[in-house]
Structure 1
């Protein structure tokens, strides 16, 4: 395969092409593209309870691994950037825990080693794709099923600490939030995960005190004895219950901060805080039914973000727009992020419902509504309501980097170096390559490739809709169909685990791509040997009389040698480029033919 490097400097017109920066070109930006945020949280929940999304219970380790890779590929295809993987469903573990047994949803039997570490594997596979992996935890649930046939392991909390349990008429059991030792235990589970695994976050779902369901109206007197023992100072059992949940959230947040400072901690509460709030919203509320006061967590900054489950359509008495705007106001006031939760399983939705909801989220970016989370992965994978197609082609047409949190400490990485680009003369595909700055060492590195209509000097100058790649490797290939015909400027940055971003790499442009392709067709160029030790030869096959200028340029942009500047007749020609005393390294062989430029990457050993 033949590649022709395209290297031109942003200052080429004034500096007579002496500063050659290794970079490339691309993309026209439509009006719609300009509206796509460069920074946006795009998450999806991967539910493991009852094997809803993954894994296949009892399947081999390799089968489970293959299925997760396939699922992550589909998530990446839709340009999402965050996975919430459920790793604790009923006081069990999808990871190697010293506290809780292996989940039965892995092998069919609780406490049985699945033969691999699912969380470690998931982190590795997510990070390979540039995806964040947040460990999703159900904090209190003890049993997700009331079947008497389920055998719990000897170290399951139901057997090891039965005095910690609250039992209900439905057969469901939870850890008793009113017992301080229970709250500390949950925090220790969080700490175990954050200390031992390179998770990007810890995530709690909406299960606190039990939801009303069917003939069960919710918790009544089941915890009255606990209230008598630990409720001193509270005038109502409701306030005490909310305090218990608040304390659990506070302790979990502290555990995350202490164990892994770059990791984020957040919760996805039920979408209605209180019945009647905001005005016009009616329905069951988390504050009174399950004693979850999410505003308390925001106001006390116990969370880095909330992802309220706004599983209703736009309009009506549970209006998505009203709820989103209300939640974003509260997040903004508390200087925290909001990522709206969306229901992909609603068969009553139109195809445009969720994309329209995401657009409403974007309209509230100025109030910290900085992204969205989709429930759930199977619906996305199966393209329910055409959602995968719509995201990939329209709503999430271009990648985005997750937003950084300015209250998180950390040092941004150093900027990437030596950005280069090459065009495949046969296919027209573009290949970008760059080098990681040797000052950087973060294992979860990602690169953001931007395009710009003018040469940017800082991130602030780059308009929304400019991201074209979010990659882990130091390279990216763009399909010919996506390559713009006109000149454009390109830069790359690096993100660390906390999503802090480096300064820009070198900036460069390429001329009209069509012109470069024409010259590649007209003049069959060959450079050999490459790599070379002493002499490099350039073969030209000119179809017409042409003015040829050939220069060897170092990575610092300085011309290190001029092989020729003369007019050649049509036909075959071989030009010799002597290395002389040039040191080993990467150089650009810049070939100008009748004012059209082609650049070849040359390695001197």
Structure 2
């Protein structure tokens, strides 16, 4: 995986323009298109798009208010849904898109209390000047699972990605005594009960998604330090297991998540030992994708070479890829970081193929052909064999081009196509004389068929025909 977190809270990465006028909507779309094209060109294959902040959403939710980052005071134009647009834009570029949710923190303006505080006051606990949904409350867990299921039902996302999936900072002072007294008496300690609450949450998410026939991927961004390492020889800071009660080993062993993206925003002896710890304890069950701190180059004065070294170390250890926080810090505003990433991502890579999808590998497409709808535009289409299941199936479209000097190049044209067709233009292949197309079916776990070839277009001849 070559991922990036695209942060929408406060418009940090996107959007910079409000969608409260037709012109604002246009600028918002164009800005996202530029960002996604840049990510595609730089070699990324996965976008974690922040769709839920601390109780507000980037999409049309029947349960929570819209984020002011999108349209001021929550205005949504009747014909525009940012998430629908973003998913389609990502898939047209061959980028997987995972809906990134801030899970338990809750921000509630004083002048207009959040609906959850108004209607379910016992769900949230005041803590350090804000609110935090109580993972120990079964109704909270059902609500979070319902939010994830609603996303999966209404949007063609590739996965749901939980952030702040933990107990809050200074968790020892988090006042969940009431729910502990009610639900935790059978556990040997409050720590064990809290860890079980988060694990129960993931079970409920998985069961809820299964109940609607959804096979989207589920992931979590835990803290970057898994557990205390006894012989580390220095202060650890907080850890996932001991400090905020995350238990990724259990999640992986029980198959509750498809992968984890630990936020490893450290370097040196706070990076390498913990990278190995993830490798030994969690990677035997599920892919581990280290989250790297591109932002540290600007905010902490790291040399960009640290990022290059961490990518190289991840590859040497043999994990599942990397993900960067956050998009803007990988852009042309920070050319040294961008150059490091471009070099690391120089060859094409596909999103992860997950083990739990191998038993339901899709049928190989057939009948790939082109129909010209104008002199410049043509439609590629194909079918699956009669009787083949289409549940959760998407398509990836490939092309191998040959230029006038005989140089060949293979390119992923599109990914996540929901129907067996794709419209292209001759202008998509400027400088190429010939194009051979191939298509593969992909299930929702990223497991693909062999590429079905069989269609070759003589682009040079087609251009000559246009001149007559």
- In structure 2, the partner of 1:512 is none
Cα deviation digits, residues 286-337 of structure 1 (max 9, x gap): 2222221222211221100011111112x22x02x33223212333322x11
Query: d(CA) in 2 for partners of 1:278 and 1:384?
Result: 37
Query: d(CA) in 2 for partners of 1:389 and 1:124?
Result: 28
Kept in 1: contact 2:292–2:307 (CA 8 A): yes
Map 1:150-229 to 2 at 5 A: 151-152=112-113, 156-168=115-127, 170-212=128-170, 218-220=171-173, 222-229=175-182
More deviation in 178-187 or 324-333? 324-333
Map 1:400-439 to 2 at 5 A: 400-408=349-357, 409-415=359-365, 436-439=381-384
Relative to 1, partners in 2 of residues 1:298 and 1:323: Cα closer, same or farther, differing over 3 Å?
Answer: same
- In structure 2, the partner of 1:69 is 33
Give 1:469 shift: 3.3
Query: d(CA) in 2 for partners of 1:419 and 1:363?
Result: 42
- In structure 2, the partner of 1:273 is 226
Give 1:278 shift: 7.8
Kept in 2: contact 1:141–1:207 (CA 8 A): no
Asked if 1:113 is matched to 2:46, the reply is no
- In structure 1, the partner of 2:250 is 296
Q: What secondary structure does 1:238 align onto?
A: helix
- In structure 1, the partner of 2:273 is 322
Relative to 1, partners in 2 of residues 1:411 and 1:273: Cα closer, same or farther, differing over 3 Å?
Answer: closer
Q: What secondary structure does 1:301 align onto?
A: coil
Kept in 1: contact 2:165–2:221 (CA 8 A): no
Give 1:435 shift: 5.0
- In structure 1, the partner of 2:315 is 362
- In structure 2, the partner of 1:310 is 264
Query: d(CA) in 2 for partners of 1:406 and 1:525?
Result: 43
Kept in 2: contact 1:278–1:326 (CA 8 A): no
Query: d(CA) in 2 for partners of 1:445 and 1:249?
Result: 28
Q: What secondary structure does 1:339 align onto?
A: coil
Q: What secondary structure does 1:54 align onto?
A: coil
Q: What secondary structure does 1:333 align onto?
A: coil
Relative to 1, partners in 2 of residues 1:491 and 1:322: Cα closer, same or farther, differing over 3 Å?
Answer: farther
Map 1:40-55 to 2 at 5 A: 41-55=1-15
- In structure 2, the partner of 1:601 is none
- In structure 1, the partner of 2:442 is 496
Kept in 2: contact 1:493–1:504 (CA 8 A): yes
Map 1:74-85 to 2 at 5 A: 74-85=38-49
Q: 2:396 aligns with which of 417, 421, 446?
A: 446
Cα deviation digits, residues 551-574 of structure 1 (max 9, x gap): xxxxxxxxxxxxxxxxxxxxxxxx
* TM, length-normalised to structure 2: 0.81
Give 1:508 shift: 11
Query: d(CA) in 2 for partners of 1:383 and 1:508?
Result: 41
Cα deviation digits, residues 260-306 of structure 1 (max 9, x gap): 54311000100012222684572211222222122221122110001
Map 1:469-488 to 2 at 5 A: 469-471=412-414, 473=422
Query: d(CA) in 1 for partners of 2:113 and 2:154?
Result: 25
Give 1:186 shift: 0.8
* TM, length-normalised to structure 1: 0.64
Asked if 1:262 is matched to 2:190, the reply is no
Higher helix share: 2
Structure 2: runs of 5+ lacking an equivalent: 371-377, 402-408, 416-421
Q: What secondary structure does 1:94 align onto?
A: coil
Query: d(CA) in 2 for partners of 1:416 and 1:343?
Result: 43
Relative to 1, partners in 2 of residues 1:117 and 1:471: Cα closer, same or farther, differing over 3 Å?
Answer: closer
Query: d(CA) in 1 for partners of 2:203 and 2:194?
Result: 14
Structure 1: runs of 5+ lacking an equivalent: 1-40, 213-217, 421-432, 452-465, 484-488, 510-519, 532-605
Q: What secondary structure does 2:290 align onto?
A: strand
Q: What secondary structure does 1:370 align onto?
A: coil
- In structure 2, the partner of 1:338 is 288
Query: What count of residue pairs does the alignment treat as equivalent?
Result: 431
Query: d(CA) in 2 for partners of 1:199 and 1:378?
Result: 22
Q: What secondary structure does 1:469 align onto?
A: strand
Map 1:587-602 to 2 at 5 A: none
More deviation in 342-351 or 96-105? 96-105
Query: d(CA) in 2 for partners of 1:198 and 1:159?
Result: 31
Q: 1:398 aligns with which of 347, 369, 380?
A: 347
Query: d(CA) in 2 for partners of 1:182 and 1:388?
Result: 40
Kept in 1: contact 2:137–2:179 (CA 8 A): yes
Give 1:243 shift: 1.3
Map 1:574-585 to 2 at 5 A: none
Kept in 2: contact 1:417–1:434 (CA 8 A): no
Q: 2:331 aligns with which of 367, 378, 381?
A: 381
Q: 1:353 aligns with which of 298, 306, 311?
A: 306
